[in-house]
Amino acid sequence: MSLGTVAIIGLGLQGGSIGLAVQEFLPGTRTTGYDLDPATRTRAAERGLVHQVCGTAAEAVSQADLVIFCVPPGVMGEAAAEVRGAIPSGALVSDVGSCKQSIAAALREALPDHTVIPAHPVAGTENSGPDAGFAHLFRNRWCIVTPPEQTDLVKLSELVAFWEALGANVEIMDARHHDLVLAVTSHLPHLIAYTIVGTASDLEDVTQSEVIKYSAGGFRDFTRIAASDPTMWRDVFLTNRDAVLTMLQRFTEDLTALQRAIRVGDSDTLFDHFARTRAIRRSIIEEGQDDSRPDFGRTDHENGGARG
């Protein structure tokens, strides 16, 4: 792998993690970066997220072999259009956006003369901004690369090697299928978590303080992903609308069936459904995609709450 310079546009959780990971795992590669927010640029420089934080996006991309857009899904096209004239003609363009069909279209429209190969590292936390990134975010996680049908295979293999160097396992997938898969493994879970946390905050007969106190009964698990960045998630639902609505329809049908089983006291249906769902967690743990310790390995009840 011989990427001389990687330019990162957007220095939040994803951009910052890529910058730190390149410095740790690809020490021969130079990193430049830009963020729209001056405060983020300052903080990025303090944390050393990239070798050089630039004052403009054009400056950041000017020497790049690979440009990665790490901005919210809704502004990918805009961010790309801004640097159209500044990206070297042979440079590869990619991104980390959570939806692939609409972002691929926006990037190609903004940069018609460049090779664009979108990607999506399935790795994140509930935090965002320049303090959220860390070099090991992508280790043992999947990165889905969604090349167009006709693509530059040398550049594709460079991008695959790049993500593998950062610790990720790479999978090549059609953008349309990506959007369907992520609708169920990521977008629908976020929508449901946002919904239930909203529902619980709005009750008249149960106070917010009761919801907080007794959240260890299960509710607190949902509050983590419902604390994710609102801009990003608004954009995700708007840019992957059809797949999300399809999956939501399935979910609603299944919920209605369980609701009916509760209402009529159909204990067999409930038991059978609840007995079926254990296996999938076992597989997730076996494949290293979750912590095997009970309760995700939380230690908050050991030490009086790791208050932070």
Name residue 108's amino acid: R
Residues 201-220 that bind a second copy (CB under 8 A): 201-203, 205-206, 208, 210-220
| Minimum distance of ligand NAP from residue 13's CB (angstroms) | 4
Nearest distance, CB of residue 271 and ligand NAP, angstroms: 13
For the segment 8-67, give every residue that binds ligand NAP (CB under 6 A): 9-15, 34-37, 40
Cα 101 from Cα 176, distance rounded (Å) = 6
Please tell me whether residue 128 binds ligand NAP under the rule CB under 6 A.
yes
Looking at 3-11, 190-198, 202-210, 277-285, which segment touches ligand NAP (CB under 6 A)?
Answer: 3-11
d(CA 1, CA 161): 7
Give whole-number Cα distances, 296 to 13, 211, 291, in Å. 22, 21, 5
Dihedral-angle region of residue 307 (phi above 0 means left; psi in -120 to 50 means alpha; beta otherwise): beta
Give least dist CB 153 to ligand NAP, A. Answer: 25
Residues 114, 89 contacting (CB under 8 angstroms): yes
The helices-and-strands tally (H runs, E runs) of the chain is 14, 9
Task: Fill in the per-residue mask, 90 to 129: x = in contact with a second copy (CB under 8 A), - = not in contact.
Answer: --------x-----------------------xxxxxx--
Residue 85 touches which of a second copy, ligand NAP, none (CB < 5 to 8 A by kind)? none
Residues with Cβ within 8 Å of residue 200, at least 6 apart in sequence: 206, 211, 219
**Tokens standing for residue 262:** 């509760």
Interface positions with ligand NAP (CB under 6 A): 9-15, 34-37, 40, 70-73, 75, 78-79, 96-98, 120-121, 124, 128-129, 132, 229, 232
